[in-house]
Structure 1
Amino acid sequence: MSKHSRRKKGKSARRSQSQSTTSSENFEEGFDVTDDGPIFEVKTSKVMGRYMVSRKNLKPGDVILSEAPLVIGPCTGCKVQCLGCYKTLESSFCTKCTCGWPLCSPKCKGLGKRFGHSQVECAVLKATKSSKFLNYDNFEEMRPNFNAIVPLRCLLLKETDARSYQHLMTMETHNEIRRNIPELWQTNQRTVVDKIRIDWGLREYSQEEIHSVCGILEVNSFEIGQQGVNIRGLYPSAFLMSHDCVPNTNHIDEESTFRLTVRASTRIEPGEMITLSYAYTLQSTLKRREHLLENKFFECQCRRCSDPTELGTFTSALICPKCKDGFVLSSNPLDPEADWTCSNYNKCPGYKISAKSMQLLLDKITQEVDNIDCNDVITMETFLKKYRNVLHPTHYINLSVKLSLSQLYGRINGFLIDELSDEVLTRKLEICEEIIKVFNVIEPGFTRLRGVTLYEMHAPLMVLLTRQFERHCTKSELRSKLKKVLKCLEEASVILGYEPESSPEGMMGVAAKDALVKIRDWEKILGRF
Structure 2
Amino acid sequence: MEDADSKSLQGGPKFDVKVSKAMGRYMVSTKEIAPGEIILSEEPIVVGPCTGCKVQCLGCYRPLESETYFVKCPRCGWPLCSQTCPGLGQRHGHTIEECLILQKSKSSSLLDYSNLESLRLHLQAIVPLRCLILKRTDPSTFNIIWDMESHNDIRRNIPEVWNSNQVNVVNRITKDWGLVEFSEHEVHTVCGILEVNCFEIGQGINIRGLYPTAFLMSHDCVPNTNHTDEETNYKLTVRASTRISQGHPITLSYAYTLQNSLKRREHLLENKFFECHCKRCSDPTELGTYSGALICPKCKTGLVLCDKPLDAESSWSCNNLQGHCPGYSIAARSMKLLLHRISQEVEQIDLNDVEGMETFLKKYRNVLHPTHYLCFGIKVSLSQVYGKINGYLIYELSNELLERKRDLCTEILKVLDIIEPGYTRIRGVTLYEIHAPLMILLTRDMEDQSPAKSELRTRLREVLKYLTEASVILSYEPENSPEGIMGRAAKEALVQMRDWESIVGKL
TM-score by length of structure 2 reads 0.97
Q: Is residue 2:60 matched to residue 1:85?
A: yes
Q: Which residue of structure 2 lines up, in the alignment, with residue 68 of structure 1?
A: 43
Code of the residue aligned with 1:401 in structure 2: it is I
- Contact map agreement 1:21 1:43 (CA 8 A) in 2: no
- Contact map agreement 1:21 1:44 (CA 8 A) in 2: no
Distance 1:59 1:528, change over 3 A: farther
- Contact map agreement 1:21 1:46 (CA 8 A) in 2: no
In 2: Cα distance, 1:528 partner to 1:482 partner: 14
Pairing of 1:57-206 with structure 2 (within 5 A): 57-92=32-67, 93-98=69-74, 99-206=76-183
- Give secondary structure in 2 for the equivalent of 1:65: strand
In 1: Cα distance, 2:115 partner to 2:471 partner: 46
In 2: Cα distance, 1:517 partner to 1:134 partner: 56
Q: CA deviation at 1:316?
A: 0.6
Tell me the number of residue pairs that the alignment of Structure 1 and Structure 2 aligns.
503
In 2: Cα distance, 1:262 partner to 1:72 partner: 18
In 2: Cα distance, 1:365 partner to 1:181 partner: 28
Q: Is residue 2:466 matched to residue 1:483?
A: no
- Contact map agreement 2:29 2:249 (CA 8 A) in 1: yes
In 2: Cα distance, 1:349 partner to 1:182 partner: 44
Amino-acid identity (%): 65
- Give secondary structure in 1 for the equivalent of 2:141: helix
Q: Is residue 2:2 matched to residue 1:27?
A: no
From 423, 433, 437, the equivalent of 2:414 is 437
Q: Give deviations 1:350-399, integer Å, cap 9, x for gaps.
A: 11111122222211211111111121101111111111111101000000
In 2: Cα distance, 1:338 partner to 1:523 partner: 55
From 273, 283, 289, the equivalent of 2:259 is 283
In 2: Cα distance, 1:187 partner to 1:171 partner: 21
Q: Give deviations 1:102-122, integer Å, cap 9, x for gaps.
A: 111111111110000111111
In 2: Cα distance, 1:216 partner to 1:483 partner: 49
Pairing of 1:409-488 with structure 2 (within 5 A): 409-471=386-448, 472-488=450-466
Q: CA deviation at 1:320?
A: 0.9
Q: CA deviation at 1:229?
A: 2.3
Code of the residue aligned with 2:70 in structure 1: it is C
In 2: Cα distance, 1:23 partner to 1:370 partner: 45
- Give secondary structure in 1 for the equivalent of 2:125: helix
Question: Higher mean Cα deviation, 213-222 or 361-370?
Answer: 361-370
Pairing of 1:362-441 with structure 2 (within 5 A): 362-441=339-418
TM-score by length of structure 1 reads 0.93
Pairing of 1:1-16 with structure 2 (within 5 A): none
- Contact map agreement 2:349 2:356 (CA 8 A) in 1: yes
Distance 1:375 1:106, change over 3 A: same
In 1: Cα distance, 2:350 partner to 2:215 partner: 37
Structure 2's unaligned 5+ residue stretches are: none
- Contact map agreement 2:54 2:206 (CA 8 A) in 1: no
Q: Is residue 2:194 matched to residue 1:209?
A: no
In 2: Cα distance, 1:25 partner to 1:524 partner: 53
From 273, 276, 279, the equivalent of 1:303 is 279
In 1: Cα distance, 2:66 partner to 2:170 partner: 29
Q: CA deviation at 1:414?
A: 0.3
Code of the residue aligned with 1:128 in structure 2: it is S
In 2: Cα distance, 1:21 partner to 1:76 partner: 38
In 1: Cα distance, 2:347 partner to 2:498 partner: 43
Code of the residue aligned with 1:96 in structure 2: it is K
In 1: Cα distance, 2:264 partner to 2:100 partner: 42
In 2: Cα distance, 1:514 partner to 1:24 partner: 49
Code of the residue aligned with 2:228 in structure 1: it is I
Pairing of 1:338-349 with structure 2 (within 5 A): 338-346=314-322, 347-349=324-326
Q: CA deviation at 1:527?
A: 1.6
Q: Which residue of structure 1 lines up, in the alignment, with residue 311 of structure 2?
A: 335
Question: Higher mean Cα deviation, 294-303 or 468-477?
Answer: 468-477
Q: Which residue of structure 2 lines up, in the alignment, with residue 12 of structure 1?
A: none
In 2: Cα distance, 1:475 partner to 1:160 partner: 70
Q: Which residue of structure 1 lines up, in the alignment, with residue 497 of structure 2?
A: 519
Q: CA deviation at 1:520?
A: 2.1
Q: Give deviations 1:386-431, integer Å, cap 9, x for gaps.
A: 1111110100000010011000100000000000011110011000
In 2: Cα distance, 1:390 partner to 1:298 partner: 31
Q: Give deviations 1:459-480, integer Å, cap 9, x for gaps.
A: 1011111111112222322211
Q: Which residue of structure 2 lines up, in the alignment, with residue 321 of structure 1?
A: 297
Q: Give deviations 1:293-318, integer Å, cap 9, x for gaps.
A: 00111111110001000001111101
Q: Is residue 2:478 matched to residue 1:500?
A: yes
In 2: Cα distance, 1:361 partner to 1:71 partner: 40
In 2: Cα distance, 1:339 partner to 1:47 partner: 28
Distance 1:389 1:149, change over 3 A: same
Code of the residue aligned with 1:482 in structure 2: it is L
- Contact map agreement 1:252 1:262 (CA 8 A) in 2: yes
In 2: Cα distance, 1:21 partner to 1:59 partner: 28
Q: CA deviation at 1:524?
A: 4.3
- Give secondary structure in 1 for the equivalent of 2:7: strand
- Contact map agreement 2:25 2:216 (CA 8 A) in 1: yes
Q: Is residue 2:270 matched to residue 1:294?
A: yes
In 2: Cα distance, 1:25 partner to 1:332 partner: 35
Code of the residue aligned with 2:87 in structure 1: it is G
Code of the residue aligned with 2:407 in structure 1: it is E
Q: CA deviation at 1:333?
A: 0.9
In 1: Cα distance, 2:136 partner to 2:344 partner: 49
Q: Which residue of structure 2 lines up, in the alignment, with residue 10 of structure 1?
A: none
Q: CA deviation at 1:238?
A: 0.6
- Contact map agreement 1:380 1:401 (CA 8 A) in 2: yes
In 1: Cα distance, 2:341 partner to 2:55 partner: 32
- Give secondary structure in 2 for the equivalent of 1:502: coil
Q: CA deviation at 1:482?
A: 0.8
Q: CA deviation at 1:27?
A: 2.1
Structure 1's unaligned 5+ residue stretches are: 1-17, 32-37
